Amino acid sequence: MQILMQLIVSGISVGMIYGVIAFGYQLTFATSKTLNFGQGEALMLGALVGLTTVNFLIGNALGNFWAYILMLPVVLAFGALQGSVVEWLGVRPAMRAKSEAGWIMATIALGIIFKNLAENIWGRDALRFPSPLPEASLSIGGIRIQPMEIVVVLGAIVLMVVVELFNRYSIYGKAVVATSNDRDAAGLMGINTNRIITFSYALSSMSAAFAGVLVAPITLTGASMGAVLGLKAFAVAIIGGLSSGLGVVIGGLILGITETLTGYYISTGYKDVPGLLLLLIVLSLKPSGLFGKAAIKKV
């Protein structure tokens, strides 16, 4: 029983990360029906910018904890900027040209460019990210957990709740929701939908960058860290459904927990298989995802 709980706890902390990244996919899909395939790279850039900032602050005689806290606004701002750039360079031209797939190629290409850029700036080694909290693990009822893992889960929840509250109660958020529901109608009501789409990309990359600095202290930071995470999160977005914020969180938890449970109870060699099976099953039975609203495309 204790082992089962330990596996579930580890699965939750991994799954929450998948969930936050997938949440980013969901944000842009809601407003523009497009995704940033470079989401993994947005996470990686966020983590590396965070690392440089933290090291700079620690170099200026700040403790690990305060350096981490002060770094957060820098990384969030950077993420927002990076997302806007992606939208401006990759998505807007494709949407203006009414291209069905242009944005797919463009965001993938931008992802590759960002990765190469990061390799040139930070090198290709995996770097250690100073942990803001003690690294010794806590024992809660026999289950061992690192303080940072708790922060990952809490941080992910806080981020998603803040975005949700913003959408529900602020006037700007309402414009986002209106654009998601019907872009043309929102445009007719005087909402600048282009600006809303840019904003959703900024928000999306911001959440990815935030996810990056959340995971960095328990994993390693490097130019290649985004590739696997971005792909896993994509699977999560499909399982949970691209139109549901809650769906991607639950999708993330399902994938994270299945991975650790399969690793232990079946074989570590087959850890990734059930996640992919689940993906295929969901795609064939409920293509809009477990929690997605089935969309009817009117022609």
Q: Does 3 bind other proteins (CB under 8 A)?
A: yes
7 lies in the site for other proteins, by CB under 8 A: yes
| Segment holding 145, helix H or strand E | strand 143-145
The reply on whether position 286 binds other proteins by CB under 8 A is no
Q: Could you write out the DSSP letters of every residue in 177-219?
A: HHHHH-HHHHHHTT--HHHHHHHHHHHHHHHHHHHHHHHTTTS
| Nearest CA-CA partner of 19 in 251, 299, 288 | 251
Q: Which is nearer to other proteins, 41 or 259 (CB)?
A: 259
Candidates 130, 224, 279, 288: give the one binding other proteins (CB under 8 A): 224
What residues have CB less than 8 Å from 287, skipping those under 6 apart?
A: 294
Provide the minimum distance between the beta carbon of 225 and other proteins in the complex, in angstroms, as a whole number: 8
How many C-beta neighbours within 10 Å does residue 227 have? 15
Q: How far is the CB of 125 from other proteins (least distance, A)?
A: 6
**Residue 6 binds to other proteins (criterion: CB under 8 A):** yes
Residues 80-99 that bind other proteins (CB under 8 A): none
What is the rounded distance in angstroms from the CA atom of residue 68 to the CA atom of residue 78?
15
Q: Which CB atom, from 164 or from 272, has the smaller least distance to other proteins?
A: 272
Integer angstrom CA distances of residue 247 from 32, 136, 288, 290: 19, 33, 11, 7
146, 135 Cβ separation under 8 angstroms: yes
Q: Give the contact letters, 109-128, x = binds to other proteins (CB under 8 A), - = no.
A: ----------x---xxxx-x
User: Does residue number 141 form part of the binding site for other proteins (CB under 8 A)?
Assistant: no
How far apart are CB 245 and other proteins at their closest, in Å? 25
Toward other proteins, which CB reaches closer, 82 or 146? 146
Q: How far is the CB of 145 from other proteins (least distance, A)?
A: 8
List the interface residues with other proteins, window 225-264 (CB under 8 A): 225, 227-228, 259-264
Q: How far is the CB of 34 from other proteins (least distance, A)?
A: 28
Q: How many residues bind other proteins (CB under 8 A)?
A: 38
- Tell me how far, at minimum, the Cβ of 115 lies from other proteins, in Å: 13
67 within 8 A of 75, measured Cβ to Cβ: no
SS3 call for 138 = strand
Please check whether residue 54 is in contact with residue 216, taking contact to mean a CB–CB distance below 8 angstroms.
Answer: no
Q: Is 273 in the site for other proteins (CB under 8 A)?
A: no
Tell me whether residue 113 is exposed, middle or buried, using C-beta atoms within 10 angstroms of its C-beta: 0 to 12, 13 to 18, 19 or more: middle
> Of these, 60, 98, 268, 299, which contacts other proteins (CB under 8 A)?
268
Q: Which is nearer to other proteins, 31 or 146 (CB)?
A: 146
Burial grade of 174 (CB within 10 A; 0-12, 13-18, 19 or more): middle
Site of interaction with other proteins (CB under 8 A): 3, 6-7, 10, 13-14, 119, 123-126, 128, 135-137, 139, 144-146, 215, 218-220, 224-225, 227-228, 259-264, 267-269, 271-272
